[in-house]
Amino acid sequence: MPPWHSGARTSPPNPLPQGEGEPDPGPPMRIDLWTLALQAVNVLVLVWLLARFLFRPVAAVIAARRDAADKLLADAAAQRQRAADALARVATEREGLNAEGQRIVADARATAEAERATLLQHAADAASRLQAEAQQGIARDRQTMREALEREATDLGVIIATRLLQRVPPRDLNRAFIETVAEAVVTHPSRTSLATADLELCSAVPLDAAAQADARAILARTLGATPRISFRTDPTLLAGVELAAPAVLIRNSWRTDLERITQSLHETAADAVAQHLA
C-alpha cells in the first residue's frame, strides 16, 4: 500500500519540479517535405482516379439521365401538345357536328313546315274547289229547274194566250198590231227609204183581201205613199205582225214579246246565280 494510504489523507506528490510554474513543451514539431510531397502526390492520384473512374462516369450517367429526362419531358410535352391539338380538333369537330345537326334539324323543320303548309294549301284548295263545284252544281241544277219552269210557264202562257186570242176577232187584232208597226215606222231612221222599198208583211194568221187593203192604207198614211207590200203567214208568231224590208225588220208579235221576256228572265237568273257564287 502506498505510504499515503497509511491512515491520513495526504496530498499527492507534485510532479513538477520544485520552483517551476509551467510544464515542459517537449521537442519542437518538424515538417518532412518528402512526406508532404508524397501526400500531395497521393492526393493528386486520388483526384485523378476519382475524376477518371468516378466523377466522369457519374457525370455521364447524370448527363444521360438528364438527357433522358429532357427527352421524356419533351415527349411528354409533345404528347401533351398532340393531346391538346386532338382535343381542339375534337372540339372543333364537335362544334361542326353540333352546327351541322342544328342545320339539319332546322332544314328538316323548314321542310316539314313547307310540306305542312303545302298540304294545308292543297287541302284548302281542294275544299274550295269542291265547294265551288258543289255551288256550281247547285247553281246549274237551279238554272236547269228555272229554265224548265220558264219553258213550262212559256208554254202555259202560249196556251193561255192562244185561247184568249180565239175570243178576239182576228181582223181587229191584226189591225191593232199593224197600227203599232206603223207607229214604229214613224220614228224609224229608214222611214223615207221604206216608202219606195219592197215591203213584206208577215202575220200569224192569213189576212184576207179586206185586211190586206186595210194594212196598205195604214202604212200609206204613215209613209205618205202607197207602198209595195207582199203578205206572208208565219204561225210561230202566235199573234202579231212583222214588217220586213232590205236591211230593216220591225217586229210586233207575241213571239217577240215572249222571247224578250224569256231573255230578261234568263239574265235575271244569271245575275242571281253570279251573286250567289260570289
Query: What count of Cα atoms within 13 Å lies in the side-chain half-sphere of residue 97?
Result: 6
Percent of the chain having pLDDT more than 70? Answer: 78
Do 227 and 219 contact (CB within 8 A), yes or no? yes
Confidence of residue 273 (pLDDT cuts 50, 70, 90): low
Q: What does the pLDDT look like over 152-211, one tens digit per residue?
A: 776 776 677 666 665 556 666 777 788 888 888 878 877 777 777 888 888 888 888 888
String of DSSP letters for 244-270? EETTEEEEEEHHHHHHHHHHHHHHHHH
Average pLDDT over every residue of 221-237: 83
Q: What burial class does residue 204 get, using C-beta atoms within 10 Å of its C-beta: 0-12 exposed, 13-18 middle, 19+ buried?
A: buried
Lowest mean pLDDT: which of 18-27, 58-67, 140-149?
18-27
Residues facing residue 231 across a β-bridge: 201
Report which residue type is found at 126. A
Does pLDDT of 19 surpass 80? Answer: no
pLDDT score at 198: 84
Do 245 and 214 contact (CB within 8 A), yes or no? no
Do 237 and 174 contact (CB within 8 A), yes or no? no
Quote the mean pLDDT of the chain: 78
Angle, CA of 108, 113 and 115, to the nearest 5°: 95
d(CA 126, CA 140): 20
Q: What does the pLDDT look like over 105-121, one tens digit per residue?
A: 888 889 988 988 998 89
Average pLDDT over every residue of 219-242: 82
Does pLDDT of 10 surpass 70? Answer: no
- Please report where in the chains the cell 500500500 appears, as a residue: 1
Residue of 118, 203, 117, 209 lying closest to 165 (CA atoms): 203
Confidence of residue 3 (pLDDT cuts 50, 70, 90): very low
Does pLDDT of 8 surpass 60? Answer: no
d(CA 241, CA 234): 9
pLDDT score at 172: 64
**Assigned C-alpha cell, 108:** 328538316
Average pLDDT over every residue of 221-238: 82
String of DSSP letters for 92-110? HHHHHHHHHHHHHHHHHHH
Average pLDDT over every residue of 54-81: 84
Alpha carbon dihedral 259, 261, 264, 270, in 10-degree steps, equals -80
- Please report where in the chains the cell 194568221 appears, as a residue: 205
pLDDT score at 139: 82
49 or 169, which is more confident: 49
Relative orientation angle of helices 56-165 and 254-277, to the nearest 10 degrees? 160
